[in-house]
Structure 1
Amino acid sequence: MRRASAARLPSRSTPRGRPSCSSSTSLERSTAQDAASRPRPDAVITPHDLVTLGEVLLRLSIPSPGRFETARQLDVQIGGAEANVAATCARLGLRTALISALPANAWGDRVRRELASHGLDCAGVRMREDARLGVYFLEYAAPPRPIRVLYDRPLRRARLVHLSGITPALGDAPRALFRRALGEAELVSFDVNYRAKLWKPDEARDLMLGVLPQVRYLFVGADEARTIFGLEGEAAAVLSGLTRLAPKATVTLMQGEAGSTVADRARLYRPAPRHTVQVVDPIGAGDAYVAGFLWAVLQKRPLQDAVDIAATVAALKCSLWGDIALINAQDVDDALGGSLAVRR
């Protein structure tokens, strides 16, 4: 172990953590399901032919010749591209499974039950209190009128959508999903998160030059600014170049051991606290910084507070094992207080 400045933001080369979730509503149900699903010693475990991952949608359609404006009744169906493929393949005889999330309510139960009725393995469909069922409205029509579709997805209801440069680097399909999210979100946070093993700097630059004008909060490492955008030198000079590329954004330059500098409307902000950290695990510190910053701005805290909180959350993360900062708001308050006294 070593001691280092809390503002140290190490290389962010780690995959994002994923929250755990429970798929049952009671201990008894969980125990029964576990017992039922546990294979017998002599059982042969057969792999799935097809596994799909994606969103399940509730389709509400208006029979022709009705219009959205005049509808009195709606026909209810279950849809979603991945679910459609999986259910059809199951009906054709393939061993298929779906990985998704549904709300832990009557609608979620209905959807899960209906998908399972097609022979689809829904063990990977999690029932969550915080999940929401996507909805789309369908208006059938006779020529020359086209069929009309209106989507109502959770993404559009989010206060802020956070994206990273990893997703579009993974291939055409993730890139399409990234562009869709970017197009639907009202407010976007973007972490460049460049991965040299996934794509070349010029590829990343070509995509990001089209992304940055839409971004409200931008996070860039100093190495990334140099590699992708050819910007180097003092923090103020680099940030000046970045703000020209992202004119709507509050831009954070993460500078490793030098800390961070944030530019907003021609003003620069730096973390006030300088924590001393016993580094246990530096992986994920950059993500922790971003999380702390967004948490603060979504609470409408002053920007200087957001910068201080971000640096503090990153420091706390370095003192903990694992990719995810296992902290709460009280930990942040305590660290900002500056005292290492035992809490009694």
Structure 2
Amino acid sequence: MSGHVTCFGEVLLRFATPGHRLTVQCDALDMVVGGAEANVAAGLASLGHRVKMVTRLPSGPLGDKARAALGAAGVDTTHVSRASKDRGGRMGLYFLESGAGLRPSSIVYDRAGSVFALSSGGDFDFASALEGARLFHLSGITPALGRGGVALAQAAVTAATSAGVPICFDGNYRALLWDAWDSDPRRVLTELMQAATVMIGNHRDISLLLGKPFSGDGSDRRREAALAAFDAFPNLQLIASTARHVVNAGHHRIAARIDAREDAHQTAEVDVTGIVDRIGTGDAFAAGVLHKWLEGADIAAMAHAGLAYTVLKHTQPGDMGLVTREELDAFSASGGDVRR
């Protein structure tokens, strides 16, 4: 498989309450490495793709742990730079209170002043990381970090465009981050989307970008939104999304959809029960879709691979979904017996 995928974004440490406890009930928290773009990188690497992660970590043991986790997932960390202590900055964190039943999970970010957020475009060697790449992946989380994050995302997109590398942009709208500063998410995200070939996002994301509601229902509304996005963004060729119906914290119903300019495919809905970890499932979906896109598969295969990966990620703890190609191909919505 020639060429590689380059992913760009902040790597975080996640601290989660064990056993679905409330934070006030805990004396200890479980720590794992995550972050949306790093999750996609790990997901693609586990499927056998060559993946390079571009990010910036602090010096010291927390940065060491993050870099080691990426390497253990099979991600090339050559372009993971480290900030010296005299530059300031720290590791970005987030805290997850795990929901149960009708009590949803909740997240608190603690990433202000992180090494990544304080970086400038000159801290990253985009040209080298993109040389020979088949795809560049980033998300709307980076520009949501503040004006510095906007500049980083713009620099990354400019570098990928100059290198002639197709861009996958995941909207990943995070209201808590955008609302924390005097932001204009519609303007910023619309500008970045102009360069994208692949979009990970649904009709709500498109509505935000275009500043208009879509009046249809179900698949008709999604197709209406997709066609509007294709009209607004001439470079865009593919839109991948999921439809999720939350019954309770441990039971969701999920379908996957791919829209191309001339066609669309939506899977049947799958019941996902006994959920172990909801976080990172959207990134797993993106990895499954991009896996088949990189293979040149049709949109039905992309939708089914995305659905399979996101369903399997619900069974795995932590941010990163780690599924092999054989496990993805063997996925069955009927589940569950021991493979011998």
CA contact (8 A) 1:271 1:307 kept: yes
1:276, distance to aligned residue in structure 2 (A): 4.7
Task: Give the distance between the partners of 1:220 and 1:18, measured in 2 at CA.
Answer: 18
SS in 2 for 1:242: helix
TM-score, normalised to structure 2, is 0.55
Find the counterpart in structure 2 of residue 109 from structure 1. none
1:314-334 deviations in Å (ceiling 9; x for gaps): 000112222211221121112
The CA deviation string for residues 290-318 of structure 1, in whole angstroms up to 9 with x for no partner, is: 01111111122222111110011000011
Residue aligning to 2:303: 307
Q: Distance in 2 between matches of 1:96 and 1:168?
A: 21
Whether contact under 8 Å (2:178, 2:185) holds in the other structure is: yes
Change in Cα spacing, 1:339 to 1:188, as seen in structure 2 (3 Å) is same
Whether the 8 Å CA contact 2:201–2:240 is kept in 1: the answer is yes
- Residues 1:194 and 2:173 aligned together: yes
Counterpart selection for 1:271 from 257, 264, 267? 267
Q: Aligned residue for 1:240? A: 227
Paired position in structure 2 for 1:335:
331
- What's 1:177 paired with? 152
The one-letter code matched in structure 2 to 1:334 is: A
Within 1, Cα distance between the matches of 2:311 and 2:321? 10
Question: Structure 2: any 5+ residue segments left out of the alignment?
Answer: 1-18, 20-33, 43-58, 64-78, 91-123, 246-253
Distance 1:223 1:342, change over 3 A: same
2:199 is matched with which residue: 218, 228, 233? 218
SS in structure 1 of the partner of residue 241 of structure 2: strand
Higher relative contact order (CA 8 A, sep 6+): 1
Query: 1:231 — aligned with what?
Result: 213
Q: How does 1:94-133 map to 2 (within 5 A)?
A: none
Structure 1 position 281, deviation (Å): 1.6
Quote how far apart the aligned CAs of 1:154 are.
1.6
Change (3 A) 1:18 1:190: closer
How far has the Cα of 1:254 moved from its partner? 2.8
SS of alignment partner, residue 194 of structure 2: helix
* 1-structure distance, mates of 2:198, 2:303: 12
Q: For the structure 1 residues 224 and 315, does the alpha-carbon distance in structure 2 shift closer, same or farther, using more than 3 Å as the test?
A: same
Q: For 1:210 and 1:17, how far apart are their aligned partners in 2?
A: 20
Q: Deviations over 1:244-288 (max 9, x none)?
A: 222332012332236232211221111257465432222211111
Return the TM-score normalized by structure 1: 0.54
Deviation at 1:98, TM superposition (A): 11
- 2: CA distance, partners of 1:252 / 1:17: 16
CA distance in 2, matches of 1:188, 1:153: 16
Structure 2 distance, partners of 1:324, 1:243, is: 31
The answer on whether the counterparts of 1:163 and 1:189 sit within 8 Å (CA) in structure 2 is yes
Q: 1:98 to 1:239 in 2, by over 3 A?
A: closer
Residue 108 of structure 1 corresponds to: none
- Secondary structure, aligned partner of 2:151: helix
Partner of 1:322: 318
Residue aligned with 2:317, SS? coil
User: What letter is aligned with 1:158?
Assistant: A
* Letter matched to residue 16 of structure 1: A
1:155 deviation in Å? 2.0
**Structure 1 consecutive aligned stretches of length 4 or more whose deviation exceeds 4 Å:** 17-21, 94-99, 336-339
Partner SS for 1:215: coil
Which residue number corresponds to residue 75 of structure 2? none
- 2: CA distance, partners of 1:95 / 1:289: 39
- Cα distance, 1:319–1:183 mapped onto 2, change above 3 Å: same
1:323 match: secondary structure = coil
Q: In 2, distance between residues paired with 1:253 and 1:18? A: 19
Q: 1:296 to 1:214 in 2, by over 3 A?
A: same
| Greater C-alpha radius of gyration | 1
Shift of 1:97: 9.1
Q: 1:231 is matched by which residue type in structure 2?
A: P
Cα distance change, pair 214–228 in 1 and its aligned pair in 2 (3 A)? closer
Give secondary structure in 2 for the equivalent of 1:255. Answer: strand
Q: Distance in 2 between matches of 1:95 and 1:212?
A: 36
Measured after TM superposition, the shift of residue 182 of structure 1 is: 0.6
Partner of 1:160: helix, strand, or coil? Answer: strand
| Per-residue deviation, 1:166 | 0.6
Q: Among the aligned pairs, what percent are the same residue?
A: 23
User: What residue in structure 2 maps to residue 254 of structure 1?
Assistant: 242
Query: 1:270–1:96: structure 2 CA closer, same or farther, 3 Å change rule?
Result: closer
CA distance, structure 1, for counterparts of residue 294 and residue 195 of structure 2: 18
